[in-house]
Amino acid sequence: MNNFMDECKKTILDVQKYLKEKKEWETRYSKYADAINHKLAKIKNNKTLFNEKGPLYLYMNVKEAKSSLKFQLRYLGQIVAMIKVDTNDKVMISTKPTKKENFEETNKRDFGCTYTLGNEENRYIEWVSDDAKIFRKHFGSNPKRSNESKKKNEEHRLESLLLTEFSKKRRSQEKPLCGIQPVKLAKIARFQMPTPLGGSNIKDIKYSNSRGGGIDILSHVVTNHTPKLCIMEVKDENVSKEPPAKVIQQGLAYATFIRELLRSGSGDKWWKILGFDRKLPEKIVFYVACVMPSKDQNDESFAGQIIPIPNSNDNFHLHYIYFQENNNNISNIISSLES
């Protein structure tokens, strides 16, 4: 355990070193915060224009939040269409290809959906149109994903299932972790938080500018009536080549960035964006959790370990969430987080 804790502390110090050497991120994320905060009210108002209904869910990343005000519509974590609100407050939807995605191709390949929304002249059509209703009905029938889908989509699928589970009402009898709720931008869209850190595993973590990886799941965890920010690193397997201890360290690297961001000049603004109503506290307790499928011998050795952040009042608390999944539903959760 001492060796593991030393490695965790080294991860924190390494990330702090990268962020101190590369100051561009502070200016960039400050601009992000200004743009998003300016549009939060408008994003929130869009909630009254249409109802999100599973299994289709709204997502939004920083680029979409600060500029175009477009939403991703996802099924099992995979983008199947884009949504926007036009100048007349009409909700519009499109499956037309973008520079990065060809929704019409992947919807047909992965979910057998041949319905297309929009054309070259009008890329978006109304959410309430007959064609859009048929499209939503197709996904409402819960089509299974084909085996041709890429492996990356498997983690996105599990993230979506976990977000759906965590989004249940706090007092739901079906919810094993009652005090947890995902961070949603303006309480409407599942928020994808980017970082300037990249690398396929903890040994490769480095500063990657605007090409860094995103945090899998950001959530609030309420303990003793106080909400805390939880950074979750999700894996679709629980295997020896990427054990929970290594996954925790990867989550810890992202958590260190979030801590440095909240202690930067734009920290108060980001605290608001991440859904906290109260003032940024003098002491922040961060939860860091590895989230993985359960197996016979789950590693629970690090649960509850606390790592103080040097020269501050802040600290990290380490946790695990092991789950079982059946037919696109989270069927069981074992966790060190308080329920």
Instruction: Tell me the DSSP string of 243-269.
Output: -HHHHHHHHHHHHHHHHHHHTSTTHHH
What's residue 147's pLDDT? Answer: 80
Burial profile 304-328: b = 16 or more Cβ within 10 angstroms, e = fewer:
ebebebeeeebebbbbbbbbebeee
20: left (phi over 0), alpha (psi -120 to 50) or beta: alpha
DSSP helix/strand/coil, 50: coil
What's residue 226's pLDDT? Answer: 78
Task: Please choose, from the candidates 261, 182, 280, 184, the residue with its C-alpha nearest in 3D space to the C-alpha of residue 222.
Answer: 182
Distances from the Cα of 315 to the Cα of 35, 94, 173, 284, 311, angstroms? 29, 44, 32, 7, 11
Task: Please choose, from the candidates 192, 245, 241, 251, the residue with its C-alpha nearest in 3D space to the C-alpha of residue 72.
Answer: 192
Helix 244-262 / helix 2-21 crossing angle, nearest 10 deg: 40
112: left (phi over 0), alpha (psi -120 to 50) or beta: left
Per-residue pLDDT of the chain (339 residues), as tens digits, is 679 999 999 999 999 999 999 989 999 999 999 999 988 888 888 777 777 788 999 999 998 888 878 899 999 999 999 999 888 888 999 999 888 889 999 999 999 999 999 987 889 999 999 999 999 999 999 999 888 776 667 889 999 999 999 998 866 667 777 889 999 998 889 999 999 998 766 677 888 888 889 999 999 998 777 789 999 999 999 998 889 999 999 999 999 999 999 999 999 999 999 999 889 999 999 999 999 999 988 999 999 999 999 889 999 999 999 999 988 889 889 999 875
**DSSP state at residue 143:** P
Single-letter residue type at 311: N
Note whether 30 and 266 are within 8 A (CB).
yes
Q: CB-based burial of residue 155 (10 Å sphere; 0-12 exposed, 13-18 middle, 19+ buried)?
A: middle
**DSSP state at residue 213:** P
* Whole-number Å distance between alpha carbons of 103 and 97: 6
What's residue 177's pLDDT? Answer: 79
What's residue 198's pLDDT? Answer: 87
DSSP helix/strand/coil, 51: coil
* Whole-number Å distance between alpha carbons of 46 and 318: 36
**Structure tokens belonging to residue 110:** 């992965």
pTM: 0.92
**DSSP state at residue 46:** G
What's residue 339's pLDDT? Answer: 56
**Structure tokens belonging to residue 131:** 């064609």
What's residue 151's pLDDT? Answer: 65
What's residue 211's pLDDT? Answer: 86
CA 299 from chain center: how many Å? 24
